[in-house]
Amino acid sequence: MKRKVFSVLCLICFCIVIGSNKLTTSTDCIEETFDAMDEMDDLGYSDLAASCMGNFVLAACQGWPVTIEEAEICFDL
């Protein structure tokens, strides 16, 4: 019985790990980040500013609480 409970718990943990991994590598968020960095380049911003903004876009897309004021730091690099 204990073994079965342990197996179920392991399975749940495995699913959580897989699920969270999917969240951080979400194709939609990567695409959104790529698009944002592309647009930064088209608007003539530096690679430094574009990669900084890419981090903010990815974080915001993944649900982290990111404000415009925080992201503005990318323009002061």
Partner 1 sequence: MKKSTFILYVCLFFQLSSFSQKYGRVVYRVNSEKLTQNNSESESRKTFVLLMNNMSVIRDSIQLNLDFKDNASIFYVDTKTNLGLSNLKGYKGIINSFNVFYRNDNTDTLIEVVNSDKIYLVTSKASEISWKITNETKVIGNYKCIKAEGSIKSHSLTKGLHTKMLTAWFCPEIPIKLGPKGYGGLPGLIMELKEGKLTYYVKALNFNLDDVSINKPVKGKVIFKEDFFNLKPTITTDNFKEHIGN
Q: Which residues make up the interface to partner 1 (CB under 8 A)?
A: 24-25, 28, 30, 32-34, 36-51, 53-61, 66, 68-69, 71-72, 74-77
Structure-block tokens of residue 75: 């323009």
Query: How far, in Å, CA of 34 to CA of 12, rounded?
Result: 33
Based on CB atoms, which residue is closest to partner 1, 12 or 73? 73
Q: Rounded to the nearest whole angstrom, what is the least distance from the CB of residue 47 to partner 1 in the complex?
A: 5
Minimum distance, C-beta of residue 55 to partner 1, in the bound complex (Å)? 6
